[in-house]
Chains A and B, each alone.
Chain A
Amino acid sequence: MDNVHAKKDRMTRWIIGTTVGLSVIYLAVLLTSRTVPNITEAPWFIPVVGIFIAMNGVSVATLALGRFKVQRDPLSFWVGIAYSSIAIGQLFYVLAWPGLSMDGTAILANMPNTSAVLSALTFTLQSAFLLAAVTSQSPIKSLRPGGLGAALIWIVFVTVILTLPYSIEEYLPHFVQPDGRFTLLFYGWAGIQLFLFAIGGLVSIFHYRRTYDSLAGYIAFTQIFSTFIILSALLTVRRYDFWWFSQRLIALFGNLIVLYGLLSDYVSLFRQVRESEGRYQQLTESLPQLIWTCASDGRCDYLSPQWVAYTGIPAADQLGYKWLERLHPDDRQTSREVWQAAVNDNHLYEYEFRVRRADGVYRWFSSRALPIRDPDGRIEHWLGASTEIEERKRYLELLERNNRDLQEISFFTSHSLQEPLRKIEMYTDKLLEDSVGLERRPRERLARLQRSAGRMRAMLADLFHLSNLTTSPLCLEQVNLQEVVREALATLEPRLRGAQAQVAVGDLPECQADRAQMLELFLQLVGNALKFQPPGARPRIEIDTKPAPDGQVYIGVRDNGIGFDEAWAGRIFEPFQRLVGQNEFDGSGVGLAVCRKIVERHHGTITVSSRPSQGASFVIHLPLRQEAEREAREEHESA
């Protein structure tokens, strides 16, 4: 980027240097020439130069307005208008030239004064429009560059202005005296013109240094150049004669520079387009995806070589809607419908379908297509990519099947093992009854059997609960978490009172959730905080909220309990993980697993940070809304 700017800085210096050099040479020629060639000896001079200037004006105006059509920049617009004015003005000027016709009369006028006024008017318009171009402000607000229609209105306006001198020839102020000498009025008018060119030139240079828009650079050149030429002529030429006209020739050079600038702009643009097209094609053809494009009406007009190689059928035989024939018969109809719907509503297309490979095997693809719009927002074409997802699909199926199996296993274990366990416990009770009078040792062993069975029962119940949480549907409603926490605390009241616990609850928000599960979440978290306390401590529990990212709620639960080593943080939410000894704190170690399950079912996250004997801090993020569609998608996937 810096390189480009350094190059452009060199161009600025080149522009200023050439301008000053040429102007100095011109001034030197004017000052050193003693004799004034008679203009009547070369009657062709003015019409030929005039026609060249007009042609140059038309070319620059066409290119500049073309550039405006693409870029929508005010600079191109006003440059276009300025050069249209020159073209029109020069045309009128040539028509007013006395040497034009065979008998020495002009078509439009015969008075040198009229042509001098017209000339002055033309260059004033040019200088004014060029100033407008670089300040990017329209003198008339309602005619600010809106489109080519506005350009047309301006051109008509300029034409009307330039026809005025002919219709009021007798009333025109005198710019030239009958003997060809300039009047004071002429010098005044030329001064204004000079001023507009000079100011315009300075502004153009600043504009160019700011934007590095090369058109502004060329405009700067022509403005500064014109300033020097007019200044040189004004200082040395006193009469409406050849030397005065010579500046027209020099001015043509300045204006040709703008034409050159615009043309080189177009050439480099063309090169860029070719390069980016090549890069685009390389990119398209090196991607693992199958790339395709469709016209705005939805008909496919390009299929990347990958698609052709995959299907083994030439692209020409698959364009239009014929690619649909490569799809699995079961996917064809809906694919077409989904595609047509996307094309009709101009929305993102996303669909999964199976495509027939050259060897006849169907493989799953995920396809996406985006409408590409032109600057006016109309859809130019659709750009689509199809990614093979066969592996993903298979893994997903495997994962789902495994998940289902696991759920069944955990349901089976928790449910079916209860029955024999119940009998073990019942019979142990009976044995204990029968053992009255037996020795101490067997009775003790029976009691241990009893306790082990009890613990197993608790674990099975927890497992059953956990697997139930996974499978039972969520009953979603708007839940006030503040109320839920209050209810949880009321349920735990006896324990809280027994432990003399202090609980601080912040102003908790509402969110969409399953109320019963939220209650259980807080029961577990508060119960957890109460349970893991050093002996004799007074538990302190804080439940609060904080601003969360959009669409989420934040809940923090902190306690002053025994805490744990941070290294365990990853495992604390696993079921049946116990960080403390079996006998210190009872329970099977499923409470936090239940918490995580609940939070995850609500598409949220739960994390914990802690240090030994520093308490634990749980952070929960829950979405404000459980979108129904997300729920539906899950169901669709599990189905």
Chain B
Amino acid sequence: MKRGRSMKVRKHAILIADDDPDDQEFIQEAIDAAAPPGVTTHYVSDGIALMDYLKADGKKDAVLAFIVLDLNMPRKDGRAALREIKADDRLAAIPVVVLTTSKSEEDRRLCKGLGAEGYYQKPNRARELEDIFSHLCRQYLC
């Protein structure tokens, strides 16, 4: 599923891999509130679609600022995708921020070990999600 926001050609884009439409909506709203205008978002809903998107040669109209990655997705989960990204020399430099419902300490350690730049548990409050994205945007969009 792809849902881009049509904007004029801008510098930055955020790639979100999450299969939950509700979460996609929450994230979009949080980015709308937190990111500077002109940031595009692109959504994929599983690990294979994510890898396809990353490896596609087609011209991209924006620089990929960071990837928001859910861990539990169909077909190929976030852990496998993360491992693949970080093992690929061309992709390894892209910051990956894990945003998941998983509470397990093991997942956190695994993702950090694989090289994820950030790890957040999906918050229950809209305000907290906005805080996460404003922090991420400050970090990766400058």
Does B26 lie at the interface of the complex (its beta carbon under 8 Å from any beta carbon of A)?
yes
| In contact, A457 and B126 (Cβ under 8 angstroms) | no
In chain B between 70 and 127, which residues have their CB closer than 8 angstroms to a CB of chain A?
A: 101, 103, 122-127
- Fill in one digit per residue for B122-142: 1 if any A CB lies within 8 Å of its CB, else 0: 111111010000000000000
For the complex, give the distance between the alpha carbons of A430 and B127 in Å: 10
Does A422 lie at the interface of the complex (its beta carbon under 8 Å from any beta carbon of B)?
yes
A419 contacts across to B, CB distance below 8 A: 101
Does A9 lie at the interface of the complex (its beta carbon under 8 Å from any beta carbon of B)?
no
Does B22 lie at the interface of the complex (its beta carbon under 8 Å from any beta carbon of A)?
yes
| In contact, A426 and B124 (Cβ under 8 angstroms) | yes
Which interface class (under 10, 10 to 19, 20 to 34, 35 or more) fits B?
A: 10 to 19
| In contact, A429 and B122 (Cβ under 8 angstroms) | no
| In contact, A430 and B101 (Cβ under 8 angstroms) | no
A423 contacts across to B, CB distance below 8 A: 22
| In contact, A426 and B126 (Cβ under 8 angstroms) | yes
Residues of A within 8 A of B (CB): 415, 418-419, 421-423, 425-426, 429-430, 433, 453-454, 457, 464
For the complex, give the distance between the alpha carbons of A433 and B129 in Å: 14
Known A426-B22, A426-B26; contact A421-B103, beta-carbon cutoff 8 A = no
| In contact, A457 and B124 (Cβ under 8 angstroms) | yes
In the A-B complex, the 4 residue pairs with the closest CB atoms: A429-B126, A425-B124, A422-B124, A423-B22
Q: Which of A418, A425, A429, A430 has the most CB of B within 10 A?
A: A429
For the complex, give the distance between the alpha carbons of A10 and B122 in Å: 96
> What residue in chain B is nearest A423 (Cβ atoms)?
B22
| In contact, B103 and A422 (Cβ under 8 angstroms) | no
B101 contacts across to A, CB distance below 8 A: 418-419, 422
Known: A422-B124, A430-B126, A433-B126. 9 other contacts (CB 8 A): A418-B101, A419-B101, A421-B124, A422-B101, A425-B125, A426-B124, A426-B129, A429-B127, A464-B103
| In contact, B22 and A429 (Cβ under 8 angstroms) | no
Measured between C-beta atoms, what is the minimum distance from B11 to chain A in Å?
29
A421 contacts across to B, CB distance below 8 A: 124
B26 contacts across to A, CB distance below 8 A: 426
B127 contacts across to A, CB distance below 8 A: 429
> What residue in chain A is nearest B30 (Cβ atoms)?
A426
A433 contacts across to B, CB distance below 8 A: 126
For the complex, give the distance between the alpha carbons of A421 and B124 in Å: 8
| In contact, A426 and B125 (Cβ under 8 angstroms) | yes
> What residue in chain B is nearest A430 (Cβ atoms)?
B126
For the complex, give the distance between the alpha carbons of A419 and B129 in Å: 15
B129 contacts across to A, CB distance below 8 A: 426
A426 contacts across to B, CB distance below 8 A: 22, 26, 124-126, 129
Measured between C-beta atoms, what is the minimum distance from A517 to chain B in Å?
15
Of the A-B pairs whose beta carbons lie under 8 Å apart in the complex, a sample of 9, sorted by A's number, is: A415-B103, A418-B103, A421-B124, A422-B101, A422-B123, A426-B22, A426-B124, A429-B126, A457-B124
B124 contacts across to A, CB distance below 8 A: 421-422, 425-426, 453-454, 457
Measured between C-beta atoms, what is the minimum distance from A473 to chain B in Å?
13
A425 contacts across to B, CB distance below 8 A: 124-125
> What residue in chain A is nearest B101 (Cβ atoms)?
A419
In chain B between 1 and 50, which residues have their CB closer than 8 angstroms to a CB of chain A?
A: 22, 26, 29
> What residue in chain B is nearest A433 (Cβ atoms)?
B126
For the complex, give the distance between the alpha carbons of A430 and B26 in Å: 9
Measured between C-beta atoms, what is the minimum distance from B29 to chain A in Å?
8
> What residue in chain B is nearest A429 (Cβ atoms)?
B126
A453 contacts across to B, CB distance below 8 A: 124
B126 contacts across to A, CB distance below 8 A: 426, 429-430, 433
B29 contacts across to A, CB distance below 8 A: 430
For the complex, give the distance between the alpha carbons of A70 and B102 in Å: 75
Q: Which of A419, A426, A430, A457 has the most CB of B within 10 A?
A: A426
For the complex, give the distance between the alpha carbons of A464 and B102 in Å: 12
Measured between C-beta atoms, what is the minimum distance from B94 to chain A in Å?
27
For the complex, give the distance between the alpha carbons of A376 and B26 in Å: 85
B125 contacts across to A, CB distance below 8 A: 425-426, 429
B122 contacts across to A, CB distance below 8 A: 422
Measured between C-beta atoms, what is the minimum distance from B72 to chain A in Å?
10
Measured between C-beta atoms, what is the minimum distance from A450 to chain B in Å?
9
For the complex, give the distance between the alpha carbons of A454 and B129 in Å: 16
Measured between C-beta atoms, what is the minimum distance from A452 to chain B in Å?
13
Measured between C-beta atoms, what is the minimum distance from B110 to chain A in Å?
17
For the complex, give the distance between the alpha carbons of A425 and B22 in Å: 12
A454 contacts across to B, CB distance below 8 A: 124
For the complex, give the distance between the alpha carbons of A419 and B122 in Å: 9
B22 contacts across to A, CB distance below 8 A: 423, 426
> What residue in chain A is nearest B22 (Cβ atoms)?
A423
For the complex, give the distance between the alpha carbons of A421 and B26 in Å: 14
Measured between C-beta atoms, what is the minimum distance from A461 to chain B in Å?
9
For the complex, give the distance between the alpha carbons of A454 and B124 in Å: 9
For the complex, give the distance between the alpha carbons of A471 and B11 in Å: 49
For the complex, give the distance between the alpha carbons of A430 and B27 in Å: 12
For the complex, give the distance between the alpha carbons of A433 and B127 in Å: 11
Measured between C-beta atoms, what is the minimum distance from A443 to chain B in Å?
16
A422 contacts across to B, CB distance below 8 A: 101, 122-124
For the complex, give the distance between the alpha carbons of A454 and B128 in Å: 14
For the complex, give the distance between the alpha carbons of A478 and B105 in Å: 24
For the complex, give the distance between the alpha carbons of A457 and B103 in Å: 14
A429 contacts across to B, CB distance below 8 A: 125-127
For the complex, give the distance between the alpha carbons of A245 and B126 in Å: 126
For the complex, give the distance between the alpha carbons of A454 and B125 in Å: 10
B103 contacts across to A, CB distance below 8 A: 415, 418, 464
Measured between C-beta atoms, what is the minimum distance from B2 to chain A in Å?
23
Measured between C-beta atoms, what is the minimum distance from A276 to chain B in Å?
65
> What residue in chain A is nearest B123 (Cβ atoms)?
A422
For the complex, give the distance between the alpha carbons of A418 and B29 in Å: 21
> What residue in chain A is nearest B126 (Cβ atoms)?
A429
> What residue in chain A is nearest B29 (Cβ atoms)?
A430
A418 contacts across to B, CB distance below 8 A: 101, 103
- Fill in one digit per residue for B39-63: 1 if any A CB lies within 8 Å of its CB, else 0: 0000000000000000000000000
For the complex, give the distance between the alpha carbons of A143 and B122 in Å: 90
For the complex, give the distance between the alpha carbons of A111 and B125 in Å: 128
> What residue in chain B is nearest A465 (Cβ atoms)?
B103
For the complex, give the distance between the alpha carbons of A457 and B126 in Å: 15
Measured between C-beta atoms, what is the minimum distance from A71 to chain B in Å?
69
For the complex, give the distance between the alpha carbons of A453 and B101 in Å: 17
For the complex, give the distance between the alpha carbons of A422 and B29 in Å: 16
Measured between C-beta atoms, what is the minimum distance from B25 to chain A in Å?
9
> What residue in chain B is nearest A418 (Cβ atoms)?
B101
Measured between C-beta atoms, what is the minimum distance from A417 to chain B in Å?
11
For the complex, give the distance between the alpha carbons of A453 and B124 in Å: 10
Measured between C-beta atoms, what is the minimum distance from A183 to chain B in Å?
109
For the complex, give the distance between the alpha carbons of A454 and B127 in Å: 14
Measured between C-beta atoms, what is the minimum distance from B127 to chain A in Å?
7
For the complex, give the distance between the alpha carbons of A418 and B102 in Å: 10
For the complex, give the distance between the alpha carbons of A426 and B122 in Å: 11
For the complex, give the distance between the alpha carbons of A525 and B131 in Å: 34
> What residue in chain B is nearest A427 (Cβ atoms)?
B22
Measured between C-beta atoms, what is the minimum distance from A420 to chain B in Å?
10
